[in-house]
A and B are shown apart, each in its own frame.
Chain A
């Protein structure tokens, strides 16, 4: 079992979380992309990225920085807040 050290709630098993994908920065305007490309296209290569994780027991949202190649988590912050 994998445990994750989170702000406020401490160390938690990762099965307590529901993962809802990458934090996408919405473009100011869609210039070069067609709407279909914006809807469907993904760049699914190994990369470090920020994901939104929902902690079911406490109903808290976290921004989790994770490497999709190695599955290592480098930073966990309460959503919308800077980590200390």
Chain B
């Protein structure tokens, strides 16, 4: 108490703010990033760190990490189905593993092991396919039987109430969870230290073009001249694309999640069931973090519904009947920008100086570090980074879709 009083009177004792916001915006920036979520802030950080570009403004309509960065279920994994997907997400996982040291900021990265449960022969077949693709690219992944699942998680009802018996699972040992807010805060802090300006409560209302491409970004706080703009706005991507006259196949669907009240630690793995449209892990606070597939209807708001909670609890009790007495504490939703092939849309566009990091649907958090790094390189060199060439917006007009549906979502 006395210590508190003492330090209360010492000016400048308190920890510095996580990031500084300059009083006013400059007239010109080398790069303007729209959206201060994990992806936008990571890009700002790698622009400064890898390329020495620090005259950067990150504009955020709300507050940092307040969109899908703070609304996901924090799972990090790389057991994808296509070559492009596996290489990309594995590079992200490698960055995640050392991110706490790199940012000198604890992101509570915790390797749990990730089980994708198979309730049918068809799912098991896809699991084998994914395991073989993963092993080929050096990603730890294997198909396991019911005995191994029972050993890893004795609480699981393998018969699923007699309705959809569990036949096996795709086991991915490096599967992990991380504190999602900390990822945004960590990147914001280090980017800000390097000289990047972060402006919260700053909404982009228009983007003006001239004959050589992007010229001015118009915000509710004034006009900013820049030749390079990166859009990293998840659920608002179609609105930003309209500002520069581009169109895309992105459709916005709400993705919902919820947590239970905190209970004693019992689940140290991540359990996913595609058939039951459910993924669950236990947070470091003891809450069961549960998510499902996207809502079946296009909605541009972060509203959450009663049906979601009642459906997910129904499925959850098939897997873990003993949780029947546990209460749901909170529920929320984010706006997911879904693409037809369940792969992101990244890189250069037809508009000179306008770059896109979008189409992150329900799979964006795990890609945060590698998105930042590859988009920073793309923006600086004005050429797509080799890891993201397959994800360019032009793939649709060329009919070169990536086909990641089997591994990216639970709703299929």
Contact = CB atoms under 8 A, between A and B. Distances in A.
Contacts of A70: 301
Main secondary structure of the interface of A (DSSP, over half): loop
A80 interface: no
A73 B171 CA distance: 44
B250 A44 contact: yes
Contacts of B396: 36, 39-41
Contact of B249 (A2, A34, A40, A46): A40
Interface in A57-80: 68-71
A8 interface: no
Contacts of A44: 238, 250-252, 298, 300, 337
B299 interface: yes
Nearest to B305: A2
A37 B397 contact: yes
Nearest to A66: B297
Given A1-B307, A15-B307, A46 B251 contact: no
Nearest to A68: B298
Contacts of B397: 34, 36-37, 40
A40 B345 CA distance: 13
A48 B396 CA distance: 27
Interface band, chain A? 20 to 34
B239 interface: yes
Nearest to B238: A44
Given A1-B306, A15-B307, A40 B340 contact: yes
B125 interface: no
B293 to A, nearest CB: 15
A69 B301 contact: yes
Contacts of A69: 299-301
Given A43-B238, A44-B337, A70-B301, 16 more contacts: A1-B306, A36-B397, A36-B398, A36-B399, A39-B396, A41-B248, A41-B249, A42-B247, A42-B251, A43-B242, A44-B251, A45-B300, A68-B252, A68-B298, A71-B297, A71-B299
